[in-house]
Amino acid sequence: MNSTPPSSSASRLHPLEAATRLTPHGDHLLGHTSKDYWAFIGPFGGATAATLLRAALDHPQRIGDPLALTVNYCAPIAEGPLQVAVRPAKTNRSTQHWTMELFQTEGDILATATAVFAKRRPGWSHPIARMPAVPQPEDLAPYRVNLPTPWVDQYDMRFVGEQPLFRKTPHAEPQPAQTLLWLRDAAPRPLDFLSLASMSDAFFGRVFHILGVLVPFGTVTLTTYFHCAADDLPTDDGWVLGNAGASIYRAGFGDQTAELWSRDGRLLVTSVQATYFRDWTPPAD
């Protein structure tokens, strides 16, 4: 199995293009993890989600635009080549269902996914959720990060309110789970379903904000709904307002909710994820 590691410096590809690139390889597709989108113990989940979505999006039998994507993170993906098996499970007149699996060693599944694509038709629309009123990104400070995870550098993040600073010891009292931030690709790139899939996971673990410290944490499963058609995607400067929160942490697992809004106030994406975490423990020294 040969595959060239993606490198944004060695090619003209945008880092997200490189991270999600797939080429035919027998019955499957061949890709490669990206150092640009590395997280704590494997690739950033958003990049993996975008890679799995791309397997269906670029498939010759694909119809319509992404409506829903669920990615289940089964085990850490190691740095190196990866393969994706993709299959249209059912094609209807206006919807299409996909299943995907990601592996590095045949038979050892590292991620499973399903996606629904749909041909939208014009008709009644009814926005219910409202975009939070926030300052514009130009009026907010870029986030200067203190996280040991390269994927964060792929985004220009502008937090509304206090910049998150993660400390050595937890806050005395749990802090709010909700955060609002503008984000866009640090290297400019038109918004598309790959970037929206990736951005739907581009939020720090809510438990970090609640406790004020980093604890072992990861996404177990991510579900992202796309509320716009391809010809309806924003074509402005790429800023998206992210609104992330959570409902509960309990007995080793928690959830996360997220919305992505266009600058002109349209809800582009809603997303949920289930996460694992470990309790904070004082350093041993």
According to the binding rule CB under 8 A, does residue 121 interact with a copy of itself?
yes
Of the pair 133, 248, the CB lying nearest a copy of itself is at 248
Q: What angle do CA 220, 187, 269 make, to 5 degrees?
A: 45
Tokens 């990104």 sit at which residue? 137
**3 state DSSP class of 167:** strand
Q: Is 145 in the site for a copy of itself (CB under 8 A)?
A: no
From 7, 112, 149, 163, residue interacting with a copy of itself (rule: CB under 8 A): 112
Q: Does residue 217 bind a copy of itself (CB under 8 A)?
A: no
Is 105 near a copy of itself (CB under 8 A)?
no
Contacts of 106 (CB under 8 A, 6+ apart): none
131 binds a copy of itself (CB under 8 A): no
Residue 37 and residue 47 in contact, taking contact as beta carbons nearer than 8 Å: yes
Site for a copy of itself in 152-171 (CB under 8 A): none
As measured in angstroms, the least distance from the Cβ of 150 to a copy of itself is 25
- Tell me: does residue 67 bind a copy of itself (CB under 8 A): yes
**Which of these segments, 30-38, 42-50, 233-241, 247-255, binds a copy of itself (CB under 8 A)?**
247-255
Question: In sequence order, which residues have a C-beta less than 8 Å from that of residue 4 and are 6 or more positions away?
Answer: 32
CB 258 within 8 A of CB 203: yes
Element (H, E) at 16: helix 15-20
- The answer to whether residue 262 forms part of the interface with a copy of itself (CB under 8 A) is no
Q: Is 229 exposed, middle or buried (0-12, 13-18, 19+ CB in 10 A)?
A: middle
* Residue 129 C-beta-side C-alpha neighbours within 13 Å: 14
Task: Give the position of tokens 């113990």.
Answer: 41
Residue 35 found at the interface with a copy of itself (CB under 8 A): no
Which stretches of the chain bind a copy of itself, using CB under 8 A? 67-68, 70, 72, 74-75, 89-90, 92, 94-95, 97, 99, 101, 108-110, 112-114, 116, 118, 120-129, 174, 177, 207, 210, 220-221, 223, 225, 227-229, 232, 245-255, 259, 267, 270, 272, 274, 276, 278-280
